Amino acid sequence: MTDWHAKAAALQLDGRAFINGERIAAEQSFDKSSPIDGRLLGQVARCDAREAELAVQAARQAFNDRRWAGLPPAQRKRILIKFADLMLAHKEELALIETMDMGKPIRYSQAVDVNSAANCLRWYGEATDKVYDEIAPTPDNSLALITREPVGVVAAIVPWNYPMLMTSWKIAPALAAGNSVILKPSEKSPYSALRMAELAIEAGIPPGVLNVLPGYGHEIGQILGLHMDVDCLAFTGSTCVGKQIFSYAAQSNLKRVWTELGGKSANIVCADCPDLEQAVQSALGSMYFNQGESCNAPSRLFVERSIKDAFLARALELVPQYQVSDPLDEATVMGALVDAQQMRSVLGYIEAGRAEGAQLLAGGGQARSDSGGFYVEPTLFDGVRNDMKIAREEIFGPVLSLITFDDVADAVRQANDSSYGLQAAVWSGNLAKAHQIARALRAGTVHVNQYDDDDITVPFGGYKQSGNGRDKSLHAFDKYTELKTTWLHIGAALQGG
Ligand code: NAP
Ligand code: MG
């Protein structure tokens, strides 16, 4: 059994930027501490205009001389797969970095974050030499090729809730398509992406092709957003910052902008749900996973009145299974929130729920306060109305809101009455009805009789203010490629023959 506390005590972290294959110290830095107990982890580069210029020039040069895009696709494939293998070879180290940096339980950092990030790199690596271009059905005297070309220099800005995974969702398809990438991790979780950049070089990705610039969103994030030599900006984060991201493109060079934003996903459990136990476990498990800091968390739980009491009774029995505990203990399922600010924000929402008349049935308070870290109990509200603040705004913490319904059409109407449209779910044993509901729900993904199933093969993204474009699957290539038509006049067909 790994002694995670000993490993944490010995952990040495390098917070310098990664530009053109090298570590670079920025002029300024900031202190980064761990949300699990408040300990100082180190100093992190506060990148600014100078580092942005170095990184954009390195990325542009690497793109122009085709040191990466010009490699045979089978070779790019091998390198990306090696990158994935190196991540797995460093699984314990990467998992520990993630847990120390943003507070999630070590069991999930290993089993979910490192594994899924490596799988994503491998999958797009594999795709590199398996995706074909097109020939259009044009007249006989011509040949029209429709090919995909890398868009150029891609800047990716990612959040702190799944730092390694969000990084790989951006960089894997962007690199597989032949782009150069500049990644800006969240100031709250910069370390795993920096370590990944070192592993990328070790795998054989040429210098300049993957650069990582830590720092503040309003500084380096904005500089990259406004940069005239960045061709594409892929963003995952809040809807509020997402709106600024579009304005950066409008104010600068109309760079391609792709956003994966917030959510307030509805989970509709009908009275004819085929497996109530499964529905209860899934409703809690998906909500409290990652301390509720998931964009697709099913935070609005709609339950039909005739099964509501049975559902709630079982849910309240199960909530204690999600008790917060030490993230470095392999048995722990709920860890720390990312920082004090996030904890205060979540506790503020809980207060708002009580003030608006929702009934607090479980949790509601801070936990483990003597640890020096930032923890909130798994929380469940009953008697929530869809117009309450806790049902309208993304809380990004372990707070589940139960809304009782009498009429399924009304439940669907309320589910859609949200500025967000990331995910949704319906539970019904009547598959025709479930399918009708799934069609009516305005969300990028609708789960039927489950919430947790997921795979790199399917697109991920939202309707409405949950963003545009899709991560994962072959559709992600749309974001990182331009479509080119090459029309050749080839003259009349050969006669005879
Ligand atoms: P955030 O505050 O929007 O920040 C996201 C990233 O943008 C961070 O790297 C941040 O840097 C940077 N940023 C902040 N202000 C910026 C600015 N003015 N210009 C350019 N960049 C700026 O979001 P967060 O709090 O980190 O993450 C939580 C949000 O992400 C939630 O809303 C969640 O739903 C969303 N999310 C969505 C998905 C999805 O796929 N739809 C997946 C995961 C998370 P700093 O860290 O320095 O502020
Ligand atoms: Mg932020």
For 270-295, how does the pLDDT look when each residue is reduced to its tens digit (9 = 90+)? 999 999 999 999 999 999 999 999 99
412-to-167, 310, 394, 416 alpha-carbon distances in Å: 34, 22, 19, 6
* Residue for token pair 């929130």: 337
Ligand 1 centroid to Cα of residue 240, in Å, is 9
In ligand 1, which atom is closest to the CA atom of 396?
Answer: 31
In ligand 1, which atom is closest to the CA atom of 242?
Answer: 3
Ligand 2 centroid to Cα of residue 133, in Å, is 39
253-to-272, 332, 341 alpha-carbon distances in Å: 53, 47, 34
User: Which phi and psi angles does 181 have, rounded to 5°?
Assistant: -130, 140
For residue 93, give the 3-state DSSP assignment. Answer: helix
Identify which ligand lies nearest to the alpha carbon of 238.
Answer: 1
Sign of CA dihedral 361, 397, 106, 100: negative
Mean pLDDT of 406-424: 98
Mean pLDDT of 140-168: 98
Mean pLDDT of 416-432: 98
Contact 344, 353 (CB under 8 A): no
Identify which ligand lies nearest to the alpha carbon of 226.
Answer: 1
List the one residue out of 402, 479, 409, 467 whose CA is nearest residue 437.
409
Residues with CB under 6 A from ligand 1: 157-161, 166, 184, 186-188, 216-218, 221-222, 225, 236-238, 241, 244, 260-263, 295, 394, 396, 422, 462, 466-467
Rounded (10°) CA dihedral 96, 101, 105, 109? -50
Token duo for residue 420:
């967000």
163-to-56, 279, 292 alpha-carbon distances in Å: 22, 29, 15
Contact 273, 428 (CB under 8 A): yes
Digit-coded pLDDT (tens) for 62-94? 999 999 999 999 999 999 999 999 999 999 999
Look at residue 492 and tell me whether its pLDDT is greater than 90: no
What was the pLDDT predicted at 493?
Answer: 76
Catalytic annotation, residues: 260, 295
> The pTM is what?
0.98
Amino acid in the structure at residue 92: E
Token duo for residue 231:
């061709």
Identify which ligand lies nearest to the alpha carbon of 235.
Answer: 1
In ligand 1, which atom is closest to the CA atom of 188?
Answer: 46
What was the pLDDT predicted at 495?
Answer: 80
Ligand 2 centroid to Cα of residue 392, in Å, is 19
Ligand 1 centroid to Cα of residue 397, in Å, is 15
Q: Exposure pattern of 178-210 as b/e (b: 16+ CB <10 Å)? A: bbbbbbbbbbbbbbbbbbbbbbbbebebbbbbb
Ligand 1 centroid to Cα of residue 309, in Å, is 38
* Residue for token pair 């406004």: 226
Digit-coded pLDDT (tens) for 326-381? 999 999 999 999 999 999 999 999 999 999 999 999 999 999 999 999 999 999 99
Sign of CA dihedral 47, 53, 54, 56: positive
73-to-76, 85, 250 alpha-carbon distances in Å: 5, 18, 34
In ligand 1, which atom is closest to the CA atom of 185?
Answer: 9
Mutation test residue for ligand 1: of 113, 120, 157, the one with most atoms within 8 Å of CB: 157
What was the pLDDT predicted at 497?
Answer: 59
Digit-coded pLDDT (tens) for 10-66? 999 999 999 999 999 999 999 999 999 999 999 999 999 999 999 999 999 999 999
- d(CA 267, CA 277) in angstroms, rounded, equals 15
Protein residue with its CA nearest to atom 18 in ligand 1 = 218
Ligand 2 centroid to Cα of residue 158, in Å, is 10
Ligand 2 centroid to Cα of residue 217, in Å, is 7
Protein residue with its CA nearest to atom 43 in ligand 1 = 295
DSSP 8-state secondary structure symbol assigned to residue 488: E
Contact 480, 174 (CB under 8 A): yes
Contact 308, 314 (CB under 8 A): no
Q: Exposure pattern of 281-318 as b/e (b: 16+ CB <10 Å)? A: bbbbbbbbbbbbbbbbbbbbbbbbeebbeebbebbeeb
Amino acid in the structure at residue 220: I
What was the pLDDT predicted at 97?
Answer: 98
Mutation test residue for ligand 1: of 48, 161, 259, the one with most atoms within 8 Å of CB: 161
DSSP 8-state secondary structure symbol assigned to residue 289: G
On average, the pLDDT of the chain sits at: 98
Identify which ligand lies nearest to the alpha carbon of 159.
Answer: 1
154-to-62, 84, 225, 256, 453 alpha-carbon distances in Å: 12, 21, 10, 9, 30
DSSP 8-state secondary structure symbol assigned to residue 369: G
List the one residue out of 336, 326, 289 whose CA is nearest residue 101.
336
Protein residue with its CA nearest to atom 40 in ligand 1 = 260
What was the pLDDT predicted at 54?
Answer: 98
What was the pLDDT predicted at 452?
Answer: 87
Digit-coded pLDDT (tens) for 432-482? 999 999 999 999 999 999 998 999 999 999 999 999 999 999 999 999 999
Protein residue with its CA nearest to atom 45 in ligand 1 = 217
Digit-coded pLDDT (tens) for 175-185? 999 999 999 99
- d(CA 144, CA 371) in angstroms, rounded, equals 65
Sign of CA dihedral 154, 157, 158, 160: positive
In ligand 1, which atom is closest to the CA atom of 216?
Answer: 47
Q: Other C-beta atoms within 10 Å of 120: how many?
A: 26
